[in-house]
């Protein structure tokens, strides 16, 4: 590689590398924001009460779930055996079309209800036997109960009209009725992070965090109710899961590439951590660096592949495949010199490594919030394609944990919880339908004697 290219890459590495002291500083700021968020004060961490605690493991029955992520919608029927096993009986996945994401709210919820209908047809399920549904809606929602909540603002490129500020369960119920699916009872609304934590802790009682690393990124953890200063509702249990909405954390040092990406994004200034970490953005960060290298004449004597000239043309999937040696034709690698390829792969490595190190730092902040000196073991349930498929991503996270905590890092286990966000919705539906029956019994005392 030419000396200029090496120098450039070294500078980029300097801009993107997160050291252990950087991480400790971020953790302190994170704790401060968590405290402010829990107190209901101005904070970049919304710290949203979910109205559920972790499951006991004895929840039982068959439940429906909708898992609306950022890229796909999944519909599931899940059987809970009451002994910690949750088995998907059927599952379908449909891509969310651009029209559904960016059209009217009615169209968006009609798409969801249509997916439920298609699921019933596809699996030949006798719909009426499955009535209780848990809805995983992976956007920032302020909940007012276990089955209601208003969307604060869209993220991840969604913009369907007339949904912000509305109760998304009400909108879903109306759409289900329009499709003749009014018998479905939407009993629980949760965030995907909450779902991931709930799914894992159904059979693993030491799990105390759910993390998403997919199109977006976020996390949830169980908080002692008395520490949630802003929560005024009923206190049936001593803990409640908090949806951190950590994608919004804004106390990270940004570089010129982060600022450029943010400025031309659909939500400038918002979701700053998410824009440095999640799958939606890593490709674009890498592309902006490569565009700079091209401008400085460091790479490409050959024609510049189209993918590098279109905003968001380069995706995280491209980075991931290239890192696995599955060199993509679209990247123009077939006509490229070895040194150009090496330079590009190094950019991908730098960008994805920073993502993993920030994610691990945020996890460290939450773990030390719960357990200052890491005296207990912690299982972190993680869902999302970025974590699952990016080569070396979880190892990079583990390296960062070791950089921060030394030997104590061994007490923190990162575990994949595939489809946790959907299964968790079914488990939460079980918890909710149980308390629904209980409150019915409380209201109708004569029922108790039957």
Give the residue among 399, 397, 387 at the shortest CA–CA distance from 359. 397
Give the residue among 429, 360, 364 at the shortest CA–CA distance from 394. 360
Give the residue among 325, 320, 317 at the shortest CA–CA distance from 342. 325
Q: Select the binding partner of residue 394 from Mg ion, ligand ADP, none (C-beta < 5 to 8 A, by kind).
A: none
In the complex, minimum distance from the CB of residue 94 to ligand ADP, in angstroms, rounded to a whole number:
12
How far apart are the C-alpha atoms of 315 and 317, rounded to whole Å?
5
* 265 contacts ligand ADP (rule: CB under 6 A): no
Q: Select the binding partner of residue 49 from Mg ion, ligand ADP, none (C-beta < 5 to 8 A, by kind).
A: none
* 279 contacts Mg ion (rule: CB under 5 A): no
Q: Select the binding partner of residue 279 from Mg ion, ligand ADP, none (C-beta < 5 to 8 A, by kind).
A: ligand ADP
* 216 contacts Mg ion (rule: CB under 5 A): no
Task: Please name the residues in contact with 15: beta carbons below 8 A apart, sequence gap of 6 or more.
Answer: 255, 256, 257
Rg (CA), the chain: 23
* 69 contacts ligand ADP (rule: CB under 6 A): yes
* 69 contacts Mg ion (rule: CB under 5 A): yes
* 211 contacts ligand ADP (rule: CB under 6 A): no
Coil vs helix vs strand at 324? coil
Helices 338-370 and 316-323, axial angle in degrees (round to 10): 110
Site string for Mg ion, 407-426 (x = CB under 5 A): --------------x-----
* 389 contacts ligand ADP (rule: CB under 6 A): yes
Taking CB under 6 A as the criterion, which residues in 75-134 touch ligand ADP?
none
**Active-site entry in 67, 110, 167, 192:** 192
Phi-psi region of 376 (alpha: psi -120 to 50; beta: other; left: phi over 0): beta
How far apart are the C-alpha atoms of 397 and 356, rounded to whole Å?
5
From the number of C-beta atoms within 10 Å of its C-beta (0-12, 13-18, 19+), residue 411 rates as middle
Q: Select the binding partner of residue 280 from Mg ion, ligand ADP, none (C-beta < 5 to 8 A, by kind).
A: ligand ADP
**Catalytic residue list contains 364:** no
**Which C-beta is closer to ligand ADP: that of 71 or that of 159?**
71
* 341 contacts ligand ADP (rule: CB under 6 A): no
* 424 contacts ligand ADP (rule: CB under 6 A): no
Strands 207-213 and 378-383: parallel
Taking CB under 5 A as the criterion, which residues in 330-349 touch Mg ion?
none
Contact between residue 283 and residue 315 where contact means Cβ atoms under 8 Å apart: yes
Which residues here bind Mg ion, judged by CB under 5 A? Answer: 69, 214, 421
Q: In the complex, which residues of this chain contact ligand ADP (CB under 6 A)?
A: 69-72, 214-216, 279-280, 316-317, 320, 384-386, 389-390
């Amino acid at each position: 590689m030419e000396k200029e290219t090496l120098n450039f890459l070294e500078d980029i590495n300097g801009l993107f590398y997160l050291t252990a002291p950087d991480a400790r500083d971020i953790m302190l700021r994170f704790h401060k924001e968590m405290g402010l968020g829990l107190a209901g004060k101005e904070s970049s961490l919304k710290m949203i009460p979910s109205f559920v605690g972790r499951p006991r493991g004895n929840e039982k029955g068959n439940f429906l779930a909708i898992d609306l992520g950022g890229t796909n919608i999944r519909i599931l029927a899940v059987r809970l055996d009451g002994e910690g096993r949750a088995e998907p009986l059927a599952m379908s996945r449909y891509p969310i079309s651009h029209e559904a994401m960016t059209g009217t709210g009615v169209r968006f919820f009609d798409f969801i209800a249509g997916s439920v209908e298609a699921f019933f047809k596809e699996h030949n399920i006798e719909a009426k036997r499955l009535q209780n549904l848990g809805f995983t809606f992976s956007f920032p929602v302020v909940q007012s109960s276990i089955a209601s909540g208003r969307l604060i603002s869209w993220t991840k490129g969604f913009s369907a009209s007339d949904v912000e500020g509305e109760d998304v369960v009400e909108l879903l119920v109306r759409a289900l009725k329009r499709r003749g699916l009014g018998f479905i009872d939407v009993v629980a609304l949760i965030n995907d992070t909450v779902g991931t934590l709930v799914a894992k802790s159904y059979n693993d009682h030491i799990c105390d965090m759910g993390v998403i690393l997919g199109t977006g990124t976020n996390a949830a953890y169980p908080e002692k109710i008395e520490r949630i200063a802003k929560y005024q509702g009923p206190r049936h249990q001593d803990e409640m899961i908090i949806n951190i909405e950590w994608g919004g954390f804004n106390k990270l040092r940004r570089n010129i590439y982060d600022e450029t990406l943010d400025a031309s994004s659909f939500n400038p200034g918002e979701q700053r951590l998410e824009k440095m970490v999640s799958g939606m953005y890593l490709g674009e960060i890498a592309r902006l660096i490569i565009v700079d290298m091209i401008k400085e004449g460091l790479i490409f004597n050959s024609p510049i592949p189209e993918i590098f000239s279109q905003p968001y043309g380069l995706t995280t999937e491209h980075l991931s495949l290239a890192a696995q040696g599955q060199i993509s034709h679209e990247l123009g690698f077939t006509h490229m010199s070895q040194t150009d390829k090496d330079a590009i792969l190094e950019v991908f490595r730098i960008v994805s490594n920073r993502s993993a190190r920030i994610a691990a730092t945020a996890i460290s902040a939450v773990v030390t919030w719960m357990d200052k000196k890491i005296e207990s073991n912690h299982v972190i349930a993680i869902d999302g394609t970025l974590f699952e498929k990016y080569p070396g991503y979880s190892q990079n996270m583990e390296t960062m944990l070791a950089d921060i905590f030394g030997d104590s890092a061994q007490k923190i286990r990162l575990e994949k919880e595939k489809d946790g966000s959907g299964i968790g919705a079914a488990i939460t539906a079980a918890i909710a339908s149980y308390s629904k029956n209980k409150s019915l019994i409380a209201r109708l005392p004569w029922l108790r004697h039957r």
